[in-house]
Structure 1
Amino acid sequence: MHAHLLRLSALTALLTAPSVIHATECFVPPSTAVFGLQPEKYPPVNEIASIGMENDPDLLRVYNDIDWTKVPSSPIKPVDLSTTSYDAGTDPDCWWTSTLCTQPKVAGLNPDVTICNKPGSWGLTFDDGPTCFSPELYGFLSEQKQKATFFMLGGQVLTYPVEAKGAFDEGHDVLSHTWSHHGLTTLTNLQVVAELYYSVKVIQEVTGVSVKYFRPPYGDIDNRVRAIATQLGLTAVMWNDDTDDWKVNNNPDARTEVDAKFQAILDKASEYNAKNAGPIVLEHDNDQGPIQIYKDWYAKIKKVYPKVMSVTECLGEGGYYEPVPSDDAGATGTATTPETPTSTTSTVTVTTDSPSTTPTPNPESKAEEQKSPARKNDVGSFAAVAAGFLGLVMFYNLW
């Protein structure tokens, strides 16, 4: 019953949630120029990432470097994520939306991260940002000396790069939530690649690092999507408990329901303790409402789950392929030295060679090194970090 309710919660979010962004009561001056970002080299915000980018040579190169013989031919799922015609009994695609399956039934695919394997822990994650409200949450977390994981939408990072860099500089995980928040199993192969590629790319331009982890919107993932993500060096991070905090964005009366969700997670502490583990909890920083709810519940959470931590702290390893230096200002970072991804499949690397003009399967293609597809050269990374620091200084002077 619990699994069924979790799936229904994700599906309900898809069908009834308002648009991702609700940040209409605050304003932050555009800062893409400060970071050297070129919006014209990215997809339209909130649109499926391949739209208008079908001839982008870097995207096509990434696509063609995937060994498509290792990607299952799972059928594209209905756009409304209806599961009525899916064979949940045999679950051939390990489709989370239908069965909550997280262990791929195909060899060589990265299994999903599903729990915080530390007793007394609460895996703290926030989705759908950044927005101009996010610094309020960063400030609260800083006061509590608390680290969190932010699964950021690529379009939002492009719109609010200062906020994204602010989270990174505070030592939080800044990971991918795809480009536009569409259900990945409902997309074509090229669309899936684009959703992952552009989100990783913009995060790399802003922070200077390439991410290892992503969260599929609505939790919607199957073996086809996992296979593509694995070859891009990415592993999915799911959740055990959903607060449904986004519901208060357009309906303040939903606060009672959301509070009950938080309390239910607290009531399950003994269940998690018996497993020497803790939940990974889904929350949001896409408006003031969810942020305020978390602030209101934080003290209660700490009493029951004393080890509130980021996902990478749960895993005991960094979230990036590059090291992040620590400093005395509290920006400890969560990266380690580059590691080999869980899968033995190599990831692709963007170069400047002329690619094919159309995406075609390329079974013989091999990557040059085990890195994110959006990895830039060291000079570009340094420029992104330096520009980001300047932008952050300007932002906090204004704020």
Structure 2
Amino acid sequence: MIGAVQLGVLAACVVVLVPMAMAGYHLSRNKMLFFSGALFITLAIGVHLTPYFPTVNDFVTTVSSVVVFENRRDSCLSHLHDVVWEVTPSPNFNPLDNNTVNYDKSWAWASSSAVSACGFQKLGRFDASDLLNGSWVVVAGDSQARLVALSLLSLVLDSGPLEMVNKDLFKRHSDYQIVVGEIGMRLDFIWAPYTVNLTNLVTKFKRNRNFPDVLVMGSGLWHMLHFTNASDFGVQLQSLRRSAASLLPVSLETGSNKPETSSASGSGSARRPHLFWVGMPTLINSMLNTEEKRERMTDAMRGEYDKGLQKSKLIRQAGGPLWLLDIESLSWNCGVRCTVDGMHYDMPVYEAVLHIMLNALLIESHQKL
């Protein structure tokens, strides 16, 4: 109804304005009246017959729907990290002990109208299992990535199996693999503390033509501690960007819409894997547990590493292939009462990271929020 009215108004404007414009060319009165009448009759017939041409109708509706969806999708993705925290003393608060167990932490998405319209939700075990059913998930990186993997398994596993997972997953500097039989989800954790390890991993996926459905990667802390060279870190990220971009059906290097020859399924299709980058956390220098860390992992150096990430254009927000899971902002907002060593944060922070990722998967896979 609204479309027909708008089209009618447009037709009326054309009927009135076009003859007025033609008058400026000193056409005769009879020619103007003839042209005006013919134009009016043509537009009137077009307005009344348009509903009977479903192809045109469907095309207009489809284009409008795509535009609305893309705008909403981009808007909601930009609000995923709009999280607020509540950190309060626990019932067993001990003023003589500054341990984080003294505080209860909870989080929620902000209540602004823009965020509320997106309908973000904390997924329960059933919904998360349904979303990840039959998926191959790879989490690769350092201790921050390991904690993201633990958060995911904590959501989909019962408490019994989770106890064994905690024991095996945290074996020092080791890989870990598990298949959650109930939902057919396979999770691989790959210990890859340096960016070059991640690039080698992506290269291996490409060589084998066998890609995970969800790939979560992150590095930086080890490089900052052992190399303390933000420029070198940035160069390594650029190399990772080029490798990760080739996993996608559209080349980010050339801007081409032509699908890459490789595919997520390895069968020639252009199915796109979901790629995420685990950002470095807020570092609280005074709480770092060694003198070497306090000397090298300063706020200034942390800022230089952030610049290296931005310049590399690795993350989607900067035009790259990976969505950023912004642990820095989440850990900063949770605060000093959410960490014992100024680097590793309490599980609610990684729980928030996980649910941000799951909601991004819902949006990216065009499922209802």
Comparing both structures, which one devotes a greater share of its residues to strand? 2
Comparing both structures, which one devotes a greater share of its residues to helix? 2
TM-score where L is the length of structure 2: 0.28
Q: Which has the higher contact order (CA 8 A, sep 6+)?
A: 1
